[in-house]
Structure 1
Amino acid sequence: MSTVSQLFNSPAADVWRVLSDGWLYSGWVVGASRIRAVDDAWPRTGARLHHSVGAWPFVINDSSKVVNSEPNRLLELVARGWPMGEAKVVITLEDRGGQCQVTLVEDAIKGPGKLMPKFLRDAMIGVRNRETLRRLELMAAGGAGR
């Protein structure tokens, strides 16, 4: 699994506000181009977020599902983007007062992406997720989700 981590200059509660607003997902997740619907229960376990991936007009409509959620601490998803496949994504927040250590772990679990050699897959996911964390930090610092 590819793991990236970054220290944010925002408390965990501010980061969680962004994560818990499903309508903001395409603002911080690299590759997500738009949000089509968000279950009212988001981000509780079992809730779904309906998104599109890719650049218009070549977009794929699919969804992500919450597998586990602990407010201000953990969000675990199965992110789908068929025909590319599915990925397990785990985001953990470690509150450090006015700062938060955010760790993002991801790997392909189904589909063609799983066929790519692990060292290549991890490198590609890592580059994308470093940018994902940069975007998430900016949104948390800017007050998104309030």
Structure 2
Amino acid sequence: MATNTRAMDCTPDDVFRVLANGWLYPTWVVGASRMRDVDAAWPGRGAELHHSFGVWPFLLDDTTQMKEWDPPHRAVLRARGWPVGEATVTIRARRQGSGCVVRIDEDPVKGPATLIPRFLTTPMLRWRNVETLNRLAFLAEAGA
């Protein structure tokens, strides 16, 4: 499992406002390139985001499903990115001083990515999620 944390100059509520807006997903998730649809029940348990990942003209359509939604503390998503596979992504936020600390855990759970040794996948996921948390911070701190 790859784990990253980042201090942010905003509240956990600000972070979860960004997460609750499914249309913002490709602005903070590295690799997601566009939204196709957001279930009306988002961010409720079982609701899905319909997105594409990759770079045009090599785009693949897939979905991300909300497994747990406990704002402003915890969200658990099942991110799909076939043919690579699926991952469980857990995002937690907790107050720290006048801001907060956000932690993201990503664990490949299904598909070819699970066949790659962790010592190879973990650094790649951590590298990508540094930028994911940077983008999430820009949106949350700006009040998006």
Q: CA offsets per residue over residues 17-61 of structure 1, 9 Å max, x none? A: 101000000000000000110011111111100000000010110
Corresponding residue for 1:65?
Answer: 65
Q: CA offsets per residue over residues 57-111 of structure 1, 9 Å max, x none? A: 1011000001111011111000001111100100001123531110000011111
Corresponding residue for 2:86?
Answer: 86
Corresponding residue for 2:96?
Answer: 96
TM-score, normalised via structure 2 length: 0.97
Corresponding residue for 1:37?
Answer: 37
Q: Is the 8 A contact 1:38 1:49 kept in 2?
A: yes
TM-score, normalised via structure 1 length: 0.96
RMSD: 0.8
Q: Give the letter for the 1:89 counterpart.
A: V
Query: Match of 1:35, SS?
Result: strand
Deviation at 1:2, TM superposition (A): 0.4
Segments of 5+ residues of structure 1 without an aligned counterpart are: none
Matching of residue 115 in structure 1 with residue 115 in structure 2? yes
Q: Is the 8 A contact 1:11 1:97 kept in 2?
A: no
Higher strand share: 2
Segments of 5+ residues of structure 2 without an aligned counterpart are: none
Q: Sequence identity of aligned pairs in percent?
A: 49
Q: Distance in 1 between matches of 2:23 and 2:98?
A: 25
Q: Distance in 1 between matches of 2:69 and 2:124?
A: 26
Q: Give the letter for the 2:129 counterpart.
A: N
Corresponding residue for 1:51?
Answer: 51
Q: Give the letter for the 2:122 counterpart.
A: D
Q: Distance in 2 between matches of 1:56 and 1:95?
A: 39
